[in-house]
Amino acid sequence: SMTRKSKTPRKPLFKKGSQASLKDPVGVYCRVRPLSFQDQESCIEVINDTTVQLHTPEGYRINRNGDYKETQYSFKQVFGTLTTQKELFDVVANPLVDDLVHGKNGLLFTYGVTGSGKTHTMTGSPGDGGLLPRCLNMIFNSIGAFQAKRFVFKSNDRNSMDIQCEVDALLERQKREALRQIDPEFADMINVQEFCKAEEIDEDSVYGVFVSYIEIYNNYIYDLLEEVPFDPIKPKPPQSKMLREDKNHNMYVAGCTEVEVKSTEEAFEVFWRGQKKRRIANTQLNRESSRSHSVFIIKLAQAPLDADGDNVLQEKEQITLSQLSLVDLAGSERTNRTKAEGNRLREAGNINQSLMTLRTCMEVLRENQMYGTNKMVPYRDSKLTHLFKNYFDGEGKVRMIVCVNPKAEDYEESLQVMRFAEMTQEVEVARPVDKVICGLTPGRRYRNQAFREELTQLLLQSFPPLPSCEILDVNDEQTLPRLIEVLEKRHHVRQMMTEEFNKQVVAFRAMLQEFDNAVLNKDNYIHGKLSEKEKVISGQKAEIERLEKKTKTLEYKIEILEKTTTIYEEDKRNLQQELESQNQKLQRQFSDKRRLEARLQGMVTETTMKWEKECERRVAAKQLEMQNKLWVKDEKLKQLKAIVTEPKNDKPERPSRERDREKVSQRSVSPSPIPNAPPIRIRHRRSRSAGDRWVDHKPASNVQTETVMQPHVPHAITVAVANEKALAKCEKYMLTHQELASDGEIETKLIKGDVFKTRGGGQSVQFTDIETLKQESPTGRKRRSSNTAPAQEVVTEPEWTDVETRCSVAVEMRAGSQLGPGYQHHAQPKRRKP
């Protein structure tokens, strides 16, 4: 438990940049003990000052391929088999004792398997003291001349110290002081030849050293210094102690005996007295193996001297407490190796449980510090970790000495110890802060001693020595007068010295008055200067506040501008992306346009060539037609010439209409051999369904073909757009559809159907027939289609003349029976005057 006067919070919150915010890792050292026999197999080798190497011994080479497995572990420093106790102490424990004298806490562990040298490292052997006696020796070498009288410091049961005046301490010394005999059993163990002392000791303070010794056995705490009256009939078992928390949140053992010691011998005698009470178990590993954790606590109380430098300052708040805990952990071997049973098995289980809790605490601390997590550290799972909780949560230095035995039998246990030690040195502990400096003037003790020595010398020089006062004879009349004369001289000297002292007092008082006046004037001057400086500082503070406000405003504006810039940049990126996509789209459209232009250019070229060919064809047809006309005119001229040159016998009679009709009918039956004669009578063809009412649907986009074959449907309602009103009045429906054929001619389709009434009151059309009409130019190439109606073939006859000669034309209708009803073919005669 930490016993510093300054409060140590459960979770300290240190200011950034302060000394307390600094952390140091747990210092882990390794000490390798020598082998018991020279021919023993070793599994540990020291590589250098910081590294050891473990290799699998012959009996444990159970790897899959039987390789020689080697692992290396690094520590802050490694001590080999030739390391002396002094070398180990100087590196590991000396800094802890130096911190203890300067008011800082420390914790030192020895950890390892049973038989690895933990107790030898901590306690030592006769003539070769370990860390514990050397720590005590260094403490008393440092503070020996500045120790307070016994019982000036008095410990209480609240983990703090009380302070008594010299009179009370003297009375208690007279009541409890007894002569202490040094036990010869350990006299040689504290015989430390090397002198060691801490530097920069505060000489204006007094010190008191208190020691306590406890053990943790089966997760119970026992006080090894508790004096229990021995009852031979019914021995009383020791009572376990409880852990408590003081006002500064430090853990301590309630009711633990604290013994004030004044020398190394006395302190080690107290330790040896408690050592005899420790539980020693006879296991197969080691007959002297300790089966419990031992904790030896050295507590140092420090208080300043008063202003005169003579007595200790009677203020409890000025006491500074620091402590150094030396912990000798139990063996870390596993239960199956000890071959223990019953109590020994339970004992080993509790030991392993407490060490496992220590390991778990180290792992959680390491995880919290490395990864920033806030997991709860399970200190309360074990008395050992709960007692030293404040070292890891608060401040102080923590050191661990890992003791290993290089023999092959300890290989597996040594491997576990190494892994735990390597993980522990990654845990960091807050660095202890320096103690608060007392406000009294330093050097008080030295000035007080110098004044006493000077006063003694002055009194010896000023007063004459007293003569011998022994009266051997009754009639001696010289001794008393001489004594009276000397005493009168001493009295006269005393009076003179008193007058001189009074004069010096007056002069000194005047000097003090002048000094006070000068100090007062100086204070006034300083106060004036300070007031001016304070005004300047206040103005500067106001300016700083204004600038800070301005800075905050600018920062706010900068933040807004940064946000706006971010928004604009995002918009810019979006617009750039949109622009790029539009550019890509335009490029695609441009490429499509170029492809379309190229395609249209090709189509135009093709169409131009096609129309050129068509024009050539039509020109040729026109030329043929003109040639036919010329031929007809020539024939007419020939006939006219023949008529003119023919002699007139009689005036011919004008044929009657009836005869003309008969001739026309005869000619229509047997066509005239004269080619290209104009038609004289229209031939009518009656529709098979002329009695029905039709809806003749002719869209406005249709063009007049002006052919001889014109559809004619009687009693029909002609519409440009189909409507329900017209459908309701008729039983038949016909749609005229035109389209341009591939050869450039117009093709007409007549789509016919029946009109039915639906249940909803409307009309529906069911198509039943399609007629296709197609016209062809006589000069063009004749094309036949299986789906189209036969084209018309017209033979042109010479036109009529005023002469009584008539030319008839014969119109041959091919496949006339295939045409649908409702069509009449008209051949109107054309008359032209000569």
Annotated binding residues: 112-119
For residue 464, count CB atoms less than 10 angstroms from its CB and return exposed for 0-12, middle for 13-18, buried for 19 or more: exposed
DSSP three-state, residue 165? coil
Q: Which two tokens stand for residue 657?
A: 């209409």
Within its chain, how far is the Cα of 609 from the centroid? 76
Rounded Cα distance between 196 and 630, Å, is 153
391, 385 Cβ separation under 8 angstroms: no
Q: Which two tokens stand for residue 32?
A: 């390798």
Comparing CA positions, the residue from 34, 53, 28, 30 lying closest to residue 43 is: 53
Comparing CA positions, the residue from 142, 141, 123 lying closest to residue 133 is: 123
Rounded Cα distance between 676 and 796, Å, is 3
109, 150 Cβ separation under 8 angstroms: no
Rounded Cα distance between 549 and 319, Å, is 46
In angstroms, the first-to-last Cα distance of the chain is: 150
Rounded Cα distance between 143 and 262, Å, is 10
For the stretch 563-572, contacts whose Cβ atoms lie closer than 8 Å and that sit 24 or more positions apart, written own/partner, are none
Give me the half-sphere count of Cα atoms (radius 13 Å) on the Cβ side of residue 793: 10
Q: Which two tokens stand for residue 233?
A: 């009939």
Rounded Cα distance between 294 and 722, Å, is 116
137, 127 Cβ separation under 8 angstroms: no
Q: Which segments are annotated as binding site for ATP?
A: 112-119
Report the DSSP beta bridge partners of residue 206: 303
Cβ neighbors of 611 (< 8 A, separation 6 or more) are: none
Alpha helices for 276-342 (secondary structure H): 335-338
State whether the Cα torsion 256-224-1-377 is positive or negative: negative
Rounded Cα distance between 639 and 799, Å, is 13
Rounded Cα distance between 359 and 424, Å, is 8
Give me the half-sphere count of Cα atoms (radius 13 Å) on the Cβ side of residue 169: 18
Rounded Cα distance between 382 and 777, Å, is 119
Comparing CA positions, the residue from 579, 553, 147 lying closest to residue 545 is: 553
Rounded Cα distance between 791 and 809, Å, is 18
Total residues found in the chain within this entry: 834
Pairing relationship of beta strands 220-223 and 240-241 according to DSSP bridges? antiparallel
Residue 274 sits at the vertex; the CA angle it makes with 270 and 279, to the nearest 5 degrees, is 165
State whether the Cα torsion 87-93-96-101 is positive or negative: negative
Give the residue carrying structure tokens 């020796």: 137
Rounded Cα distance between 565 and 560, Å, is 8
b/e burial code for range 185-215 (CB count within 10 A of at least 16 → b): ebeebbebeeebbbeeebebbbbbbbbbbbb
Q: Which two tokens stand for residue 515?
A: 């000094």
Rounded Cα distance between 750 and 768, Å, is 11
16, 383 Cβ separation under 8 angstroms: no
332, 317 Cβ separation under 8 angstroms: no
